[in-house]
Structure 1
């Protein structure tokens, strides 16, 4: 008779010895790294003992995977120990943790990061493509388990962006559009999430470059460039100390419709009658800057008060805004409805299309967030400086 239990225990321990050997092989780059690694090796041993006592403990696998993943970050690039091997072992432990507990959000999220790190090591190869697809699936799983995670959505978007650089051209557009939607949802969950704001700016910039090259008539590259510049400017305004944002802003600042952040068309009711019949609503140019949104006059400039003979122009000051949302109000003229709720009551406008609505919503929310964080002067400097 074969000693099945003994045999499976031997396989179990040899498999786990590999992981412990890898953890013990990491030396760390400096003294701090070495002491950190000693703690990790100690923790690894503890989780291994926990698994030997109870092989069905998902948390022990999850924590052990974290130890392996952190050891991989500790690898001295000049040493013989393999970062990739550590990450691969971490992935095996995450797989085990999620098998034992399919609702472990953090395990899917960190597993995706480990897979993404393995993909980065492989450049733009078929192998990297497969790993990016796997990382994306795990980010998706993490978001399904915890939809309120801007960080997972942002990483999901970055994974799609990386994948789009490897796949054939015909697939690229679809993947980029999906990436854009992930970054936008991340920002909607956390309006001052400057990394996602910046990432959205870079992905739109790349899309503008592609559109210029392919000359597709249905999208204006200039529109994409100026949208890209809005997000980069907003990221910089929220985090002026980041040199990455500062240098990106130098590249895109002149793509903004200076001295405004955004210029575009909206259909609005007459200034003195918000419930006027649809025939009285007028499509006209609006300008948005750090102070708010207002209707431009025929020359494209905001109207001066004297010319206006007592009719108050359509203007919404940023400090009066309470909320900004898409509006399905059935009494509005046809189109993509926009409701800006203010301390003086709601103001309704209609955008030309749902895509145009999205970009107005984002721009208004970002201007408000920058104002609420006390950074309006930084934004003012960008657009008027």
Structure 2
């Protein structure tokens, strides 16, 4: 009796879903042809669920058909609505994940469907709730399949959208979480240009927000200028990897002047004395480093003074570096990573392993360490993809 009732309920739901799919015509001949294929697939999945209501694979695949059918809905169509198809897809994903809680692909595509529904609702309370649901599903997808840069990137995008709706007091925490997701995506796939670009845009937005709100910047905060500079690094890297993408090219025009030209990155790290990487901690000194498309260079005191005296703190021309104490050529790099080693002074340790042996440095903060690691890895990735000349054009102009 209970089984019959369950089957009756499923049949009613299946019929409603089939009615939605059958009423989608497609916007052009290609769309109509694709929709005929989707409709045929939906009938097969409906039959499979009629035979076995616990067939989570059929439920998952049917949800995909509903989601793809939503993309086939004409923009001026009122029946069926794209939202109705997406809502029905979400119900199928919900059922599938209840039957199989480890179905990470279902959580991932469910989150995409929820995100699409949220986009239709602007900056409303309903949209806020949908974005929160989407972030939870991306989180679940990543927990079940941590090796997914695309899921991490989409999670970051959903958090970015959510941050634009929530009250101001919640915004910065959500933005910083989004930054961590984009960074995690890049760490899984160094040439993932979309995540690289998205990280640049979210840092730019954070810089704008920090300036607009006029919040006092304490010693632990990253200044707006530094945030702008970080943003420019990621956008320049995305452009170097995909120079034909007009969106990246336009964004680069906006932020290029925020780079410490003719370098990609300039900053301080603590380094050992020349030729003595295992010197006592008291002998390690803070000095300035510059990174460009060719490598990482340590400046001597005269060169640091020249850099600090340049207008607006920016470089007017290449610094004359004859024999820097530390010089890392990009082609020589094997790996770059954070390092916790008792032989290093306390702080955010950095290890650059090269074909000539490891080089150890200590960044000013753990946050600045992340920036150095990302920047060096990105320059290496650009070199490995044969795009160093594009980056050189960006920073030397």
TM-score band, normalised by the shorter chain? over 0.9
2:361 aligned residue (335, 342, 349): 349
CA distance in 2, matches of 1:57, 1:374: 48
| CA apart distance, 1:329 | 1.0
Query: Does 1:304 find its partner at 2:302?
Result: no
Unaligned runs of 5+ in 2: 308-317
1:213: Cα distance to partner?
Answer: 1.1
In structure 1, the partner of 2:245 is: 242
> Is the counterpart of residue 315 in structure 1 residue 327 in structure 2?
yes
Structure 2 distance, partners of 1:379, 1:173, is: 31
- 1:131-186 Cα distance to aligned partner (Å, 9 max, x none): 00001000000000000000000000000000000000000000000000000000
Among residues 56, 60, 64, which one is paired with 1:62 in the alignment? 60
TM-score, normalised to structure 1's length? 0.96
Return the alpha-carbon distance in structure 1 between the equivalents of residues 212 and 140 of structure 2: 35
User: What is the match of residue 157 of structure 1?
Assistant: 156
> How much has 1:103 moved relative to structure 2?
0.4
Paired residue secondary structure (1:27): coil
**What residue number does 1:196 align with?**
195
Contact in 2 for aligned 1:258/1:383 (Cα 8 Å): yes
Cα deviation for residue 286 of structure 1 reads 0.6
1:219-298 alignment, distance < 5 Å: 219-296=222-299, 297-298=303-304
Aligned to 1:375: 387
CA distance in 2 between counterparts of 1:185 and 1:287 reads 25
Query: What's the secondary structure of 2:291's corresponding residue?
Result: strand
Q: How many residues align?
A: 378
TM-score (norm 2): 0.93
- Is the Cα–Cα contact under 8 Å of residues 10 and 50 in structure 2 kept in the other structure? no
Deviation per CA, 1:235-254: give whole Å up to 9, x if none: 00001110000000000000
Residues in 2 aligned to 1:175 and 1:210: alpha-carbon distance in whole angstroms: 13
Cα deviations across residues 20-79 of structure 1 (Å, max 9, x unaligned)?
Answer: 000011110000000000000000000000111111110000000000000001100112
The answer to whether residue 89 in structure 2 is matched with residue 86 in structure 1 is no
The SS at the match of 1:26 is: coil
Distance 1:9 1:99 in 2: 17
Instruction: Tell me the distance in 2 between the aligned counterparts of 1:5 and 1:47.
Output: 19
Deviations 1:314-352 (A, max 9, x none): 111101110000110111112211000000000000101
Query: 1:295·1:302 contact (CA, 8 Å) conserved in 2?
Result: no
Query: Per-residue deviation at 1:272?
Result: 1.9
- Counterpart residue number, 1:50: 48
CA distance in 2 between counterparts of 1:53 and 1:4 reads 15
The 1-side partners of 2:2 and 2:52 are apart by: 18
Contact kept? 2:45, 2:58, Cα under 8 Å:
yes
Gaps of 5+ in 1: none
**CA RMSD in angstroms, aligned pairs only:** 1.2
